[in-house]
Structure 1
Amino acid sequence: MSGNSEHPAKEAGHPDLVDAFIIFLLATAIDIFLFTIATQFVARPVFSSLPQFMTSTYTSIWTSLVTGGAGIGLVIVKSLGAKKRVHPDYLRAIGFTASGLLVGIFLIVGISLFLNRVELQRPPAGATLVDFESTLNSRRTFEFVPIPGTNLDYKIQGTYYVADKKLKGEVTSAKLSTDTNYASPLPQTLSKLFVSVCYLHFSDGRDEMQIRPWPSKSANSRDIHVELKKNISATFASFPFEIDLPEGAEAGRTWLCGGATFSGGYIPFH
């Protein structure tokens, strides 16, 4: 007989209900930890406030395990401490389970995004998109002309450029007029002419149009006094404007806009 004896490799056992619970518990804890860390880096702390039923469950289980008290923690401790029992390969099982849960989560997110996809809006046709690469030496021009359905005829022209996160420019020509067909249900007197920045901002699952600044300020407007009635024509002197570009403004989704205010509202320009 040989003095060397070979011991057969110990085979992993098949997981029972308690093993499955341990594997699932640790796998989900790993996934939650990974998602919590990952979302912190993208400034979206989605996992910083988990549902109470989840936090309460994990708290009670870990407390029971650490203190060795009664309940599911005692069952897990006894199961792991059973000497005659063949345990499954926990590391392998937990790794596969955690990976499977991650794949399932990504599939659910992908399907949700597909089913709830939102068609992003576009700036109005003919609007002057803000060129964020423009400079003082390469000014861009803009022009506001009547929007369909507006019974006020106007033509606002000017130039602009972008510097130090501000849109600066000048209205070089401004004309307002009406014809014999002009009609308004209420008397209106225009009190201010302004230039602003309009942009589309995605929020709460949909696009919203924002206008900045609102209400208009002295830095982007000019006081006027025009009583709207039939057959009027008004021309205004040039004036400069300066607007702080909003944080959410993006190229291709930001354009110059403006308007003429009256008591209770304004006539929009694009």
Structure 2
Amino acid sequence: MKKNRLLAKWLNDDLSPDELAAFEASPDFEKYKKIKEYTSHLETDDWDENAMLSNILSQKKSTPKVVPLYKKWAFRAAAIFVLALGITFAMKVFVPQTETADFGQKTTFSLPDNSEVVLNSGSEINYKKWNWSNNRHLELKGEAYFRVAKGRKFEVETHLGKVTVLGTQFNVKTRKNRFDVVCYEGRVKVNYANTQILLTHGQSVRFENGKQIKTTVNSLKPEWMDNQISFYQENIRSLLDEVERQYNIKIELNSKDTISLFTGKLPAKDLNTALQIISTTYHLEAKKVSNNTIIFDEK
């Protein structure tokens, strides 16, 4: 009731300085401010005082009617609340939804059909809830693991290629010019440029710089979900980019060897061990210059 009264007074420009300051500091103020602009047409017409006076005098036995000002406030407040509910509903249903996982974090969420998605660090997904059951389509930047509920065609669009399934479990990864897809259950159709490949349980495919690279699957689910960063024939710069995402740090490399390829695993929750493995493999020395900056120099 107090909130409604303040809203009504604000609509009528009748708030005291203290009340106005408190109302503008409320979390819903910006929403009310925008809605007020759209409801300006709800203003009641100005009264014709002369016509009203003539009407009263012509009806000797009639009693003058007084329209309380609070009714005008209540009408506008109710209209704004109805419009606010409509806008809130539209925002949730029609506006594209975005899920993100910042560097050093992972995000798990469910889609409208209860399909489950786990986003790896530094990744983002965009989708629309509206008509989802008939149009299960989303856009991925980065890497994500999907457990897709059975239903109509399910599509994952990336800047490098598209993955299409019906109901399955799979992992999709896009990093710069590299596109990886692993099928852990069911079947997955992968479209990359003019190439179309059908993957079944335990199969994977990788494209890098326009070329298909042979890969293998050695686990029942992505290693990154168990806090392990898995690499297969990765150059050191790509390796360090992934370490930066997982630990939310910055790494500088001072080395002439950027061609040697790495195949193996690094821990995603033990930075010192990860740095030690990289240093030993590439004959480098790691130096921490701050809490979030590492420099690798040649020994």
TM-score normalised according to structure 2 size: 0.28
Higher-Rg structure is 1
The higher-RCO structure (CA 8 Å, 6+ apart) is: 1
Could you tell me the TM-score, scaled by structure 1's length? 0.30
